[in-house]
Amino acid sequence: MISDEAYIRYQRQIQLVEIGLQGQQSLEQCSVLVVGCGGLGSAAIPLLAGAGVGKLVIADHDTIDVSNLHRQTHYQQTQLGQSKVKLTRAYVEALNSQCQVRVVEAKLSGEQLTLECMLADIVLDCSDNMTTRHALNQACYQSKTKLVSAAAIGWKGQLAVYDYGQSSPCYHCLFPFERLATPTRCSEHGVMGPVVAMMGSVQALEALKHLTLEAKQTRANQLHLFDGLINQWQSLVITKDATCKVCQQATTESEAIQ
């Protein structure tokens, strides 16, 4: 049962019929892995902690630079050079002591990444490079952990939830490459703060929905493109690639064993 204190705290959320007491209780039991504590992560993490997610695991190896502050607004100008994950942990603990935070102050990779994805109920990709994005997709595919992937640059954002069902596509089906034609990092290309914060907020929204709602009320495997310059969204259905190295190779291997 939910405590009186928690009921009062989350009342506005519990009031939503789709969430209710049951949804709130399941949030308290959930563990969410957030990879990246930059523009996307700093928008998503406070919303997840505020909503009452029981456990947050936050991974990033970076420190605060003055050029981060226009979009990563939960950091302060007195904190330059300090560890992003440590500051974010302090921020979350001050916001909601009911939320347990564990931080990984490193670039997650290999077995550690696989293990972290396995332990999570849902993963948020808030990273800033294709290599990490592909590694996360691979790890989430292996452990069948839902992945909420978002990216932002300039005025544009992209977002998709991968559920890794039997006939579902994966991130690699959509983007089967690591090299991009143009710079992908905000440091090289520039980004509008509200655009990246919006994408991070929608990541938190999708994660909260997938953690609390019934399956028929949520959607996955769609790519949402946002253009902040004209304030428009476009939604596209992601199709499974029959030749995908990530989600098809495994199927072929298991068929071969049978």
Partner 1 sequence: MSINIKLNGKSISLTHTEALSEVLLSLAIPTQGCALAVNGEIVPRAEWPTWRVNQGDDISLFQAIAGG
Pick the stretch among 24-32, 73-81, 83-91, 120-128 that binds partner 1 (CB under 8 A).
Answer: 120-128
Which of 32, 85, 88, 128 touches partner 1 (CB under 8 A)?
128
SS3 227: strand
| Catalytic residue from among 37, 126, 186, 244 | 186
The reply to whether 184 sits near partner 1 by the rule CB under 8 A is yes
End-to-end CA distance of the chain: 45
Pick the stretch among 22-30, 47-55, 86-94, 189-197 that binds partner 1 (CB under 8 A).
Answer: 189-197
Q: Minimal CA–CA distance to 33: which of 135, 83, 97, 108?
A: 108
Pick the stretch among 51-59, 95-103, 111-119, 175-183 that binds partner 1 (CB under 8 A).
Answer: 175-183
Residue 36 beta carbon to partner 1: minimum distance, rounded to whole angstroms: 5
The one-letter amino acid at 244: C
The reply to whether 155 sits near partner 1 by the rule CB under 8 A is no
User: Which residue carries 């990273």 as its tokens?
Assistant: 127
Site for partner 1 in 24-53 (CB under 8 A): 36, 38-41
Our answer to whether residue 170 is catalytic in this structure is: no
The reply to whether 230 sits near partner 1 by the rule CB under 8 A is no
Residue 22 beta carbon to partner 1: minimum distance, rounded to whole angstroms: 32
What one-character-per-residue DSSP string does the chain give? ---HHHHHHTHHHHTSTTTHHHHHHHHHH-EEEEE--SHHHHHHHHHHHHHT-SEEEEE---B--GGGTTT-TTS-GGGTTSBHHHHHHHHHHHH-TTSEEEEE-S---HHHHHHHHHH-SEEEE--SSHHHHHHHHHHHHHHT-EEEEEEEEBTEEEEEEE---TT---HHHH---S--SS--SHHHH-B-HHHHHHHHHHHHHHHHHHHHS-GGG---SEEEEEETTTTEEEEEEPPPPTT-TTTTHHHHHHHHH-
Site for partner 1 in 46-105 (CB under 8 A): none
Site for partner 1 in 191-210 (CB under 8 A): 191, 196
The reply to whether 182 sits near partner 1 by the rule CB under 8 A is yes
Residue 131 beta carbon to partner 1: minimum distance, rounded to whole angstroms: 9
Which of 123, 153, 202, 208 touches partner 1 (CB under 8 A)?
153
Site residue total, partner 1 (CB under 8 A): 48
Site for partner 1 in 236-255 (CB under 8 A): 236-244
Which of 18, 65, 90, 185 touches partner 1 (CB under 8 A)?
185
Cβ proximity to partner 1, 36 vs 46, nearer residue: 36
CB 169 within 8 A of CB 246: no
Rounded CA gap, 60 and 106, in Å?
Answer: 6
What residues act catalytically? Answer: 186
Q: Which residues of the shown chain bind partner 1 in the complex (CB under 8 A)? A: 36, 38-41, 125-130, 133, 150-153, 156-158, 169, 173-177, 179-182, 184-186, 189, 191, 196, 223, 225, 234-244
